[in-house]
Structure 1
Amino acid sequence: MDLHLTNILNDLAKDDFHAYLLTQFTNVEYISNYKPTSFAFCLIKENPVIYASGMDMELACRDSNIEVKEYESFEVMIKDMKDEGIKKLAIEPSLAYSTYARFKDSFTIDSKTYIDKQRMIKTPEEIEKITNATEIAQESFLQLDILNNTGSEKEVAFDLVRYMIENGASKESFDTIVTSGAESSLPHAVPLDKKLNQPVLIDWGCIYDGYCSDNTRTMVYTETQQEIWDIVAEAHDKAIKAIKPGMKCCEVDKVAREIISDYGYGDNFIHSTGHSLGLDIHETPGFSTKDETVIEKGMVITVEPGIYLEGEFGVRLEDTVNISRKGNVIGDLPLNID
């Protein structure tokens, strides 16, 4: 049996649960290798099973490495579960209330993060896929020749996504951010139908074989912009240098945040220092003020400090870090684009 399944079964036994219900698509994919296109219920137990919709049966039977049954109704599924002696059911925290309501009168239910705990630590195969996604994304970014690009923000974003797909990605891993000028002070700015202004901030990534990448670069042009860029780059570099197993995630956030605060811009760093990624672009744990998760080998987490000056401009620099004995940046794209 797959190690991840074995670990989750051990967690279930320790907490005296009989089964664990998953519906989130990437969680189902993580456990079974089958990525639903419609709804699906993955029931982790001694003999795990997926209830797939009729529309997905061919796909599920082709890709899943665990048993697949066609979903008929909640009543049939609940009867199957009761017939197996399932009384105590763990659910993922993201389970929709409407689904929870169908099960709550038949089982003792509690939400558990067993699946999140497994997904925190990436296998060498997963890290290779994230690395491939990162390399595709970075190669595509260089094709933009951004310093000489005369397109609009929308056009540049479109070209970047097109390059990533042409270079082997299945799609972008999130809505590509290309922003410039005053709008760069918006961390989640939307590309506009306007010519690139200064500075230019691009936050992009792609999916390769199911796994995400994530990078941000900011190209600055004035002395004031360069001063802010230098502060963010210092926070980025020193946070990465500080990463090692045994630290708490919040301690890495503190390294980046204190550097930016020491320069007087603490109130302008308005998000966490980073997030894990994998099958989803945002996973746990993250480098944030409140995350006390202990860092372990195999975690893959972004480092992305930023300073945002409202109405003026913003600077963010982001790389994805694979953690072994230290933090190793994935990819080789320089911070400074010239």
Structure 2
Amino acid sequence: MESHVDNILNDLKKDDFQAYLLTQFTNVEYISGYRPTSFAFCIIKDDPIIYASKMDMELANNNSSIEVIEYESFDAIVEDLKCQGIRNMAIEPTLPFSTYVRFRDDFKIDSKTYIDKQRMIKTSDEIEKIQMATEIAQKSFLQLDILNNQNTEKEVAFDLVRLMIENGADKESFDTIVTSGANSSLPHAIPDAKTLDQPILIDWGAVFEGYCSDNTRTMVYTERQQEIWDIVAEAHDKAIKAARPDIKCCEVDKVARDIITEYGYGDKFIHSTGHSLGLDIHETPGFSTRDETVIERGMVITVEPGIYLEGEFGVRLEDTIAISKRGKVIGDLPLDIS
């Protein structure tokens, strides 16, 4: 975490800023090891500091690698910074407007993505945690015995979350999606109180020591469903093979999108091919048509092409890859669950 701070200090010096203000919980955790449960102001400067709420002081003191002091008032923070000679600062792009307006009268402010750029590249320790989260999630999925399950979508989702926690997860990494039949054409369907229909699409992930996993599998039953599944599987596999350092993220998206388009379903692939993950389930960069970020070693990105036939069904297949010489799939769950 010291290196994270040092890298940001170097960015600040290059751009002639004196400090960098963070309030997003996962950004504070990334820098310090302490994830707030209430508000916190993390200010990266030569001697970084976190202003934490009173209810968080014990937690912060136990976990933070950065000095923590108790928040007294907003005016006290401003006065502290002024006394240290700080006149300008960078802010994270996600800083709430209500917080920004309280600083703008006293400091020259500009939005910078220093923290996002840092978080794009995962350390070996971060990748190990994502691998562990994936192992927990995949083990739990296999324990469901989906093909013989007569429970409702809601019950299956509940059981999957319970199993992940029993197997060592902190929690689910997002609201687990269990959907079936015609509802599977909704990419972010909410589990319903109905018995599983066909096909069955499950999108799930676990959190392990703060780090997320993400997988999707679709179980198909008819010749028509299998036809669409095969197309999505081809797009999934070829996009993973295409992912490597020094090409742009949008090029990987194009590989998956071109395959689905060639089969006549281009307009049914209605989201990007993938997103980075880490402390948050959605991070940057992503495999999308507009993302021209050059892929680097250490990036961890999902590959999740899909085809959604409105009123009929949908198919999505998703794995997470870690970039080294090429993209390597994290986990060993087969695509075909039958």
Report the Cα offset of residue 2 of structure 1. Answer: 1.2
In the alignment, structure 1 residue 7 sits paired with structure 2 residue 3: no
Q: Distance in 2 between matches of 1:191 and 1:20?
A: 41
Report the Cα offset of residue 232 of structure 1. Answer: 0.1
How big is each residue's C-alpha offset from its partner over 1:106-128, in whole Å with a ceiling of 9 and x where there is no partner? 00000100000000000000000
Report the Cα offset of residue 4 of structure 1. Answer: 1.1
In the alignment, structure 1 residue 31 sits paired with structure 2 residue 31: yes
Q: Distance in 1 between matches of 2:63 and 2:270?
A: 42
Equivalent position of 2:209 in the other structure: 209
In the alignment, structure 1 residue 129 sits paired with structure 2 residue 123: no
Q: Distance in 2 between matches of 1:236 and 1:30?
A: 31
Q: Distance in 2 between matches of 1:3 and 1:60?
A: 20
Equivalent position of 1:162 in the other structure: 162
| Letter aligned with residue 111 of structure 1 | S
In the alignment, structure 1 residue 109 sits paired with structure 2 residue 109: yes
Q: What TM-score do the two structures reach when normalised by structure 1?
A: 1.00
Q: Distance in 1 between matches of 2:99 and 2:113?
A: 18
What SS does structure 2 have at the residue aligned with 1:178?
strand
Report the Cα offset of residue 145 of structure 1. Answer: 0.6
What SS does structure 2 have at the residue aligned with 1:217?
strand
Q: Distance in 1 between matches of 2:162 and 2:16?
A: 49
Equivalent position of 2:302 in the other structure: 302
Structure 2: which 5+ residue stretches go unaligned? none
In the alignment, structure 1 residue 243 sits paired with structure 2 residue 243: yes
Report the Cα offset of residue 269 of structure 1. Answer: 0.1
Equivalent position of 1:220 in the other structure: 220
Report the Cα offset of residue 81 of structure 1. Answer: 0.4
What SS does structure 1 have at the residue aligned with 2:69?
strand
| Letter aligned with residue 108 of structure 1 | K
In the alignment, structure 1 residue 63 sits paired with structure 2 residue 63: yes
Q: Distance in 2 between matches of 1:46 and 1:273?
A: 40
Report the Cα offset of residue 50 of structure 1. Answer: 0.3
Superposition map of 1:1-338 within 5 A: 2-338=2-338
Q: Distance in 1 between matches of 2:243 and 2:291?
A: 14
What SS does structure 1 have at the residue aligned with 2:325?
coil
Structure 1: which 5+ residue stretches go unaligned? none
| Letter aligned with residue 113 of structure 1 | T
| Letter aligned with residue 129 of structure 1 | K
What SS does structure 2 have at the residue aligned with 1:89?
strand
What SS does structure 1 have at the residue aligned with 2:285?
strand
Q: Distance in 1 between matches of 2:328 and 2:158?
A: 30
Report the Cα offset of residue 37 of structure 1. Answer: 0.4
Q: Distance in 2 between matches of 1:86 and 1:273?
A: 43
Q: Distance in 1 between matches of 2:24 and 2:299?
A: 21
| Letter aligned with residue 147 of structure 2 | L
What SS does structure 2 have at the residue aligned with 1:116?
helix
What SS does structure 2 have at the residue aligned with 1:337?
coil
Report the Cα offset of residue 233 of structure 1. Answer: 0.1
Q: Distance in 2 between matches of 1:175 and 1:74?
A: 35
| Letter aligned with residue 277 of structure 1 | L
Percentage of identical aligned residues: 78
The alignment of Structure 1 onto Structure 2 pairs a total of residues equal to 338
What SS does structure 2 have at the residue aligned with 1:336?
coil
Report the Cα offset of residue 3 of structure 1. Answer: 1.2
How big is each residue's C-alpha offset from its partner over 1:292-338, in whole Å with a ceiling of 9 and x where there is no partner? 00000000000000000000000000000000000000000000002
What SS does structure 2 have at the residue aligned with 1:224?
helix
How big is each residue's C-alpha offset from its partner over 1:124-181, in whole Å with a ceiling of 9 and x where there is no partner? 0000000000000000000001011111000000000000000000100000000000
Q: Distance in 2 between matches of 1:76 and 1:314?
A: 54
| Letter aligned with residue 320 of structure 2 | T
What SS does structure 2 have at the residue aligned with 1:11?
helix
Q: Distance in 2 between matches of 1:329 and 1:2?
A: 29
Report the Cα offset of residue 227 of structure 1. Answer: 0.3
Displaced runs of 4 or more, over 6 A = none
| Letter aligned with residue 96 of structure 2 | A
